[in-house]
A and B are shown apart, each in its own frame.
Chain A
Amino acid sequence: MAGNSEPLSPRAKLAVTAGRAAAAASRAVGRGSGSVIGGKVSLKLDPDLLGRLAAHLDVVLVSATNGKTTTTRLIAEALRAGGPVVSNALGANMPAGITSALAGGSDARFGVIEVDEKYLAGVAKDVTPKAIALLNLSRDQLDRAAETRMLAEKWREGLAGNKAMVIANCDDPLIAWAASSSPNVIWVAAGQAWKDDAWSCPSCGGVLQRPADDWFCGECGFRRPMPSWALSGDHVVDPHGSAWPIHLRLPGRANKANAATSAAVAAHFGVPPQVALERMYEVRAVAGRYDVVTFHERELRLLLAKNPAGWLETFSLIDRPPAPVVLSVNARGADGTDTSWLWDVDYTQLAGHPIFVLGDRKLDLAVRLEVAALDFRVCDNLDEAVRAAPPGRIEVIANYTAFQDLRRRVGN
């Protein structure tokens, strides 16, 4: 995997072709984009294919609990200033999906790759990335995923000795712990509103002290690294202290944080912050997220929130009361089947909004909102909620499969 311009072996070429054929067959029978099945066929024929495909590219890996799909898009847009980019833009982020995405970009200079948290250490070994962007880690899908701190530990082991430049959020203690085993880190003060997964020192188990934006462990001395990049309000501050305005079409503080990290990544590849940030303006919606659609002659904004940290960031970006809010929660396989996380979300932040509740687990939500002393209405479906909603743009917040259901219903 060392060479830069080594051509693909006949076996690898065959694997790519077979993967494309399988993807086309999968599309033809209406089973989605086919990228995952294509990647699986390819990987079976040539297990080293991922590394071989990546050897021709400057690879950037992006991982996090929240924001990895959006950040992958932002980095891809920024790096296009420097050359063609191949990316798994639709979020197929496990090895098969990544293989399939890379197989489609033989002329590219950059590979910008979103990686599922559980696969990061492995993919980072396989593809010899030039840069790895790490945004945040928090609780997600509790009945399936490993403990959040264990994930940070796995990243830490996987990154030790990796030659990639790690661009990491110093405001998240778990990210700081995971990244600080790497010899090359660029720290970004990207913020992290959700704090409840990192009160305990990841190094020694002591209680972290968190005055204002700082954090440190009083027992072992592990502390927030000094950032060279920072998000400051609507600006990105670069290592020279210059502040660059962020103009995004994507809403919310979390996306500004994603833009700040993306600017730092782009700069590492020689794209100046101003150019990078201008290009990020082109990103409107990411796999349907943040899309504004018309449904029953009403405007709906579709927002995905998969876990407590994601809900917290989402509440901070919605229109003010009395903007109506629709909440939809499922607990199917991809969502995690344990709904107890609903109680980690501070729904009192929705006070003053007319609230409409739907989804497979609308009754869990109803009890949650009752205990938060909020007014709400339980609905059978989106149509009923939209018809009942008072005037104004409707903010629709849903977790993973509930979001897919809603997109299908509004024809998006």
Chain B
Amino acid sequence: MSDNSLRLVWIYPDLLSTYGDQGNALVVERRARQRGLDVARVDVRSDQPVPTSGDIYLIGGGEDRPQRLAAERLRRDGGLNRAVSNGAIVFSVCAGYQILGHEFINDLGEKEPGLGLLDVVSTRGEAARCVGDVLADIDAPLRLPPLTGFENHQGVTHLGPTARPLARVRFGNGNGTGDGTEGAYNDTVFGTYMHGPVLARNPLIADLLLKLALDVNALPPADDRWYEALREERIAAATQPA
């Protein structure tokens, strides 16, 4: 791994890769390479230590038992928390998003402590599972076009006072609290319920992670033709549910 390569760490694909979560890693990697960056991608299995020197960490979705196992192992390891205190960027989805918060409900129906990297608390929803296309407006300071994603979860996530909502839904459920929020972020730590995978439908979020990691304001343009076509189609699908 050369010193000036971007270090991309994918956390626990053996436990948290149920919904094509590798896609987010592939999109970040591809868009970095298209900008001429070297990328060193490390996939960390749950019996391996989490490296603390990564630039961007990705953590995906999973079912209830693997989610508990992942939380236990990440707490014991401590590497992800150390990486964040060193300024690393974290992007999390669904079960991974819940793990980054203060607590969530595990497969045994008990409160499971999270990593406390996001000021959120998750519970299990009483209502039907949220499944379908989502359209949401991303929090204005992030200056990004609308969020399009596919949600497939039963969790409900409440934001604490220091977390900002990643977006506000126009169509769909998002955090499932009924207040219209979707996802959350604190500084360099992001969480969302969106699959798709979400970065394949929102490549400018992938670019935002790259800009934060590189500490730059802009990146050279990329060919976004197919992403744009897909976004247009899925945004239309969200606004006209079947």
Residues of A360-381 at the interface with B, using a CB-CB cut-off of 8 Å, are 363-364, 366-368, 370-373
Cα A370 to Cα B199 with chains together (Å): 13
Name the residue on B nearest A144 (C-beta).
Answer: B131
**CB of B69 closer than 8 Å to a CB of A:** yes
**CB of B171 closer than 8 Å to a CB of A:** no
**CB of A338 closer than 8 Å to a CB of B:** yes
Cα A96 to Cα B192 with chains together (Å): 41
Query: Main SS of chain B's interface residues?
Result: mixed
Q: A256 to chain B: which residues have CB within 8 Å? A: none
Q: B26 to chain A: which residues have CB within 8 Å? A: 343, 371-372
With both chains docked as a complex, state the minimum distance between the C-beta of A53 and any C-beta of chain B, in angstroms: 36
Q: In the bound complex, do residue A344 and residue B152 qualify as a contact, i.e. CB atoms below 8 Å apart? A: no
With both chains docked as a complex, state the minimum distance between the C-beta of A85 and any C-beta of chain B, in angstroms: 38
Q: Mark B209-242, 1 if CB is under 8 A from A, else 0.
A: 0000000000000000011011001000000000
Q: In the bound complex, do residue A340 and residue B20 qualify as a contact, i.e. CB atoms below 8 Å apart? A: yes
**CB of B54 closer than 8 Å to a CB of A:** no
Cα A247 to Cα B46 with chains together (Å): 42
Cα A343 to Cα B30 with chains together (Å): 13
Q: A214 to chain B: which residues have CB within 8 Å? A: none
Residues of A317-343 at the interface with B, using a CB-CB cut-off of 8 Å, are 337-343
Q: A344 to chain B: which residues have CB within 8 Å? A: 17, 20, 22
Q: In the bound complex, do residue B69 and residue A338 qualify as a contact, i.e. CB atoms below 8 Å apart? A: no
In this complex, the interface size class of chain A, counting residues with CB under 8 Å from chain B, is 20 to 34
Residues of B88-106 at the interface with A, using a CB-CB cut-off of 8 Å, are none
Given contacts A149-B63, A199-B45, contact A343 B22 (CB under 8 A): yes
Which of A142, A149, A205 meets B152, CB within 8 Å?
A: A142
Cα A184 to Cα B19 with chains together (Å): 35
With both chains docked as a complex, state the minimum distance between the C-beta of A198 and any C-beta of chain B, in angstroms: 9
With both chains docked as a complex, state the minimum distance between the C-beta of B123 and any C-beta of chain A, in angstroms: 20
Q: In the bound complex, do residue B30 and residue A371 qualify as a contact, i.e. CB atoms below 8 Å apart? A: yes
**CB of B15 closer than 8 Å to a CB of A:** yes
Q: In the bound complex, do residue B227 and residue A367 qualify as a contact, i.e. CB atoms below 8 Å apart? A: yes
Q: A150 to chain B: which residues have CB within 8 Å? A: 63
Q: Which B residues contact A (CB, under 8 angstroms)?
A: 13-15, 17-23, 26-27, 30, 45-47, 63-66, 69, 131-132, 150, 152, 195-197, 200-201, 226-227, 229-230, 233
Which 6 residue pairs of A and B lie closest in terms of their CB atoms, listed nearest first? A343-B23, A340-B20, A343-B20, A199-B14, A207-B47, A363-B230
Known contacts A207-B46, A367-B230; 6 further A-B pairs (Cβ under 8 A): A199-B45, A337-B131, A339-B20, A340-B195, A340-B196, A371-B30
5 A-B Cβ contacts within 8 A?
Answer: A142-B19, A343-B26, A370-B227, A371-B27, A371-B200
